[in-house]
Amino acid sequence: MHSDEYLTFIHNSKVRTHIMPNLNIPVNTKGGYIGTNTNVFYPIETLIFPKAPYTNTKYKPAYLRWYEGKEENIPKEIVPITNVFEHLYQIPPSDDTELPLSDISDKDSIWDAQRHKTEQVGDIYGYNAEFERYNERMVDCSTFLAYGFNDNGLKLKNANFCRVRHCPVCQWRRSLLWKSNMYIAYEEIKEQYPKGKWLFLTLTVRNPFIGDLRETLKHMNKSWDRLVKRKAFHGYVDGWIRTTEVTRPKKPKKKKTDPDVICPIKGNTYAHPHFHVMLFVKPSYFSTGYMSQKKWTELWRDVLRIDYQPIVDIREVKPKIKNGVLQTEEEAIKSAVMETLKYSVKPDDMMGDGSKAANEWFYELTRQTFKLRFVASGGVLKNAFKRDEDITNDDLINTNQDEEDTNTDSRRLMFTYKKSIHKYLYNPHLNQ
């Protein structure tokens, strides 16, 4: 049965009560894949152990270790079927049906694209023996997603993450966590400082050779420390968050709406590091402390101690018209937060044009940014974020993005990643 036909059947079904199925089904290791009788999802040849079945837990994929470490939790009473997720749990599709997560939950469809990017970046690491361990960790990253469920939808309750700095999945999850932290801090600040205003600041330097990136970033960080001590800054700025982004140099745009295109000359040899900063300023900034873009540029140049004019952009965070509707002030601030706390390195910049030179750029980027902090905050926002090293697996699972009820029972719908089609598929034989 095709997945669309199965979902149509669920929505049209008038059945409301069913007996729970027997979930104690053996794992299938035939046909060159590790999986179940429903979905094949993990090619054996991509793993670093010799032969199935796997008696040593060290060599089992993360989702099998997780599954076998759990006890079955079948309710003692029959549970009424009130939503599609309950139906999926109690009456799973036939073994010949591949049911993608993206067909079941629109908001979770982003997982497919993010996991595919992790595949691609992990493959690049796999080409170089120096980064082979990163490749191994990324191969086993987010291979399963365990969801709780209620009438409002799916709620992620468990997953496995590799925590590699440039893993697109882990970077995306960290970004979501930081945004959530910032939204909470914003609500607190709004109550304590109701008249404060927000500015969005971008600071750049001349593009360095990729091999000089580490020293350039250290210089930028020291220059920032000098900047926050200037009276023009600390006299009017109550708090700030600062993120570092590194991209490949891009070709100049003829129009603002033109897409970014990596420079064919310097894209694989130079880097473009810059700061994105949100400033929370006193109301008096606009009357007695206001600085034009020219003055901000001069101040940044002064603290950098350079002999050229850096590119600086400063603007007040104001509501914009989006899709014909004027944003509220809160929506404008949250948009600025999203811009500030986006990826430190975009996956497209990690991969480049796929050439050997592009891969070498990425390897050097990895060396140059090793253990450097890319997120900082100060003033009333000083404790807004967790440090990278303090972020746990649970933090990456529970990024607090759900506004609806997240309470569920202990039952879990299981989805596993199938590399050949770059999708997460429902795997009911691993349900808990």
pLDDT in tens, 5-58: 656 555 555 443 333 333 333 333 333 333 333 333 333 333 333 334 444 555
The reply to whether 116 and 56 lie within a common domain is yes
Q: Quick: pLDDT tens for 351-360.
A: 999 999 999 9
Whether 284 and 247 have beta carbons less than 8 Å apart is answered as no
Give the domain extent around 286: 194-379
The pLDDT score that the predictor gives to residue 15 is 40
The reply to whether 201 and 157 lie within a common domain is no
b (16+ CB within 10 A) / e for 306-317: eeeebebebeeb
Q: Which residue has the tokens 């040593």?
A: 56
pTM, two decimal places: 0.82
Measured distance CA(237)–CA(285) in Å, rounded:
8
Mean pLDDT of 201-211: 97
The reply to whether 373 and 401 lie within a common domain is no
Question: Count of alpha carbons within 13 Å of 316, Cβ hemisphere only?
Answer: 13
The lowest-confidence range among 23-27, 102-106, 318-322, 409-413 is: 23-27
The pLDDT score that the predictor gives to residue 331 is 86
The reply to whether 370 and 226 lie within a common domain is yes
The reply to whether 56 and 133 lie within a common domain is yes
Within a domain: 389: no
The reply to whether 279 and 134 lie within a common domain is no
Within a domain: 278: yes
Whether 413 and 146 have beta carbons less than 8 Å apart is answered as yes
Within a domain: 245: yes
Within a domain: 188: no
- Say if strands 423-426 and 312-316 run parallel, antiparallel, or are unpaired: unpaired
The reply to whether 317 and 203 lie within a common domain is yes
Within a domain: 175: no
Overall number of domains in the chain = 2
Within a domain: 180: no
Within a domain: 392: no
Mean pLDDT of 125-133: 97
168, two tokens:
């697109």
429 has a pLDDT exceeding 50: yes
401 has a pLDDT exceeding 80: no
The lowest-confidence range among 171-175, 256-260, 297-301 is: 256-260
The reply to whether 313 and 408 lie within a common domain is no
The reply to whether 199 and 119 lie within a common domain is no
Mean pLDDT of 54-81: 61
The reply to whether 34 and 84 lie within a common domain is yes
The pLDDT score that the predictor gives to residue 56 is 52
The reply to whether 403 and 264 lie within a common domain is no
Within a domain: 138: yes
3 has a pLDDT exceeding 90: no
The reply to whether 12 and 135 lie within a common domain is yes
Mean pLDDT of 116-137: 97
Q: Which residue has the tokens 């500015």?
A: 199
